[in-house]
């Protein structure tokens, strides 16, 4: 899938740069353009992608100080300027726009849903948001910001590809210490997802190539989507890799998801990456059937991504995946952090439908 990336806020800019670098390093050609947008001038200075400073009149390049309502207002006021900066990148080859943002800060959590709404008003192509949740040890303001932003983005974007900061950093390592590792993990997994079907990295042609339409259809339910990944050494004989494929698929879904503990999804996509000569069709079909059973979805697509490697990897994309124990825990934390007069202690799932966590707009 050919995409244009827009990083909004500090975390969004850094992850956007890492995604663009990974795509370039791997030679995938999936990223058609990238731009970082922020209200803080200092956060843009060390980025290699194109940058755009917004909110000059209101915050003088100093950022919004964690105020995501102000971040949303600035983006609403200057969305036209941001879209003007995208014009040269949104070529006829682009198949989707992906807004990348940390949901806990001010500019990203406020600006991402505002920009998604405006882009959907103007463009017919899908507008996705890659949103990053703050970790448990980050401050209360980040939890509250992310709860409100998550609720708003899930409504405004065609799909919110969600990453939990606690999911992809090493045990015993603080989120602050692990940001680089987290960004690398995001780039690898999301980068592979975008690249699926875009290239043939080896001479052999995959038996069942994933194309962009399968990614779009998997994300079609909207709401929240999540990505998982795992890999293992593979035998040269495809017949000996049946268990390898089922094992890496299980690991991707049960221990490698960007939002852990997903128990239900509307749609799914299983991509097996590696040397086509090592990919067992029996293993792929068995793994795909297992994903259907595990998620309760009857719409799990499958395919290959040929790579010159002696390992096999499973990439799992789940669409319509709101029901997650980890997400329920986060919404409860966000609700507790939100200083509202009416503080309900009901089912955290209901935070998507009620006003315990107010929308940003």
Q: Are residues 233 and 191 in the same domain?
A: no
Q: Are residues 10 and 156 in the same domain?
A: yes
Q: Are residues 170 and 97 in the same domain?
A: yes
CA 117 vs CA 72, 126, 203, 344: distances in Å: 11, 11, 42, 28
Residue 61 resides in a domain: yes
Q: Are residues 41 and 69 in the same domain?
A: yes
The 10s digit of each residue's pLDDT in 204-248 is 555 677 889 999 999 999 999 999 999 999 999 999 999 999 999
Asked if residues 161 and 225 have their Cβ atoms less than 8 Å apart, the reply is yes
Alpha helices by DSSP H, listed for 229-298, are 242-255, 281-295
Q: Are residues 269 and 190 in the same domain?
A: no
CA angle, residues 143, 347, 145, in degrees to nearest 5: 15
Residue 254 resides in a domain: yes
Residue 60 resides in a domain: yes
Exposed/middle/buried for 88, CB within 10 Å: 0-12, 13-18, 19+? exposed
Q: Are residues 77 and 117 in the same domain?
A: yes
Q: Looking at the 3D structure of the chain, how many domains does it have? A: 2
Instruction: State yes or no: pLDDT of 84 exceeds 60.
Output: yes
The 10s digit of each residue's pLDDT in 162-212 is 999 888 766 666 656 678 888 999 999 999 999 985 754 444 555 677 889
The 10s digit of each residue's pLDDT in 317-360 is 999 997 777 788 888 888 888 754 234 334 444 444 434 446 66
Q: Are residues 299 and 342 in the same domain?
A: no
Report the chain's mean pLDDT, rounded to a whole number. 88
Q: Are residues 123 and 8 in the same domain?
A: yes
List the beta bridge partners of residue 33: 4
Residue 204 resides in a domain: no
Residue 294, domain extent: 227-319
Q: Are residues 141 and 240 in the same domain?
A: no
Residue 189 CA, chain-centre distance (Å), reads: 9
* pLDDT of the residue at 350: 46
The 10s digit of each residue's pLDDT in 240-293 is 999 999 999 999 999 999 998 887 899 999 999 999 999 999 999 999 999 999
């Amino acid at each position: 899938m050919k995409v244009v990336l827009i990083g909004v806020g500090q975390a969004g800019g850094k992850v956007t740069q890492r995604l663009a670098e990974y795509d370039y390093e791997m030679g995938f050609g999936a990223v058609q353009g990238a731009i970082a947008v922020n209200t803080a001038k200092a956060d843009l200075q060390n980025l290699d992608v194109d940058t755009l400073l917004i909110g000059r009149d209101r915050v003088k390049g100093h950022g919004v100080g964690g105020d995501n309502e102000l971040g949303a207002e600035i983006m609403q006021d200057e969305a036209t300027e941001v879209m003007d900066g995208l014009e040269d990148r949104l070529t006829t080859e682009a198949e989707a726009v992906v807004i990348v943002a940390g949901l806990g800060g001010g500019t990203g959590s406020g600006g991402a849903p505002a920009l998604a709404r405006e882009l959907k008003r103007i463009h017919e192509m899908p507008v996705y948001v890659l949103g990053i949740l703050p970790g448990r040890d980050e401050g209360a303001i980040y939890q509250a910001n992310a709860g409100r932003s998550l609720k708003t983005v899930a409504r405004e974007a065609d799909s919110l590809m969600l990453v939990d900061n606690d999911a992809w950093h090493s045990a015993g390592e603080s989120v602050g210490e692990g940001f680089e590792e987290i960004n690398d993990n995001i780039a690898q997994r999301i980068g592979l997802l975008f690249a699926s079907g875009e290239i043939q990295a080896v001479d052999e042609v995959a038996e069942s190539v994933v194309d962009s339409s399968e990614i779009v259809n998997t994300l079609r339910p909207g709401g929240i989507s999540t990505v998982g990944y795992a890999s293992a050494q593979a035998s040269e004989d495809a017949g000996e890799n049946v268990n390898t494929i089922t094992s890496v698929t299980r690991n991707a879904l049960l221990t490698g998801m960007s939002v852990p503990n997903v128990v239900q999804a509307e749609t799914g996509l299983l991509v097996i990456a590696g040397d086509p000569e090592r990919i067992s069709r029996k293993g792929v079909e068995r793994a795909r059937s297992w994903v259907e059973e595990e998620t309760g979805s009857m719409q799990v697509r499958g395919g290959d991504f040929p790579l010159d490697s002696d390992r096999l990897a499973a990439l799992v994309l789940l669409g319509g995946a709101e029901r997650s124990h980890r997400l329920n825990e986060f919404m409860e934390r966000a609700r507790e952090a939100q200083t509202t007069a009416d503080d309900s202690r009901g089912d955290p799932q209901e935070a998507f439908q009620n006003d315990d966590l107010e929308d940003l707009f």
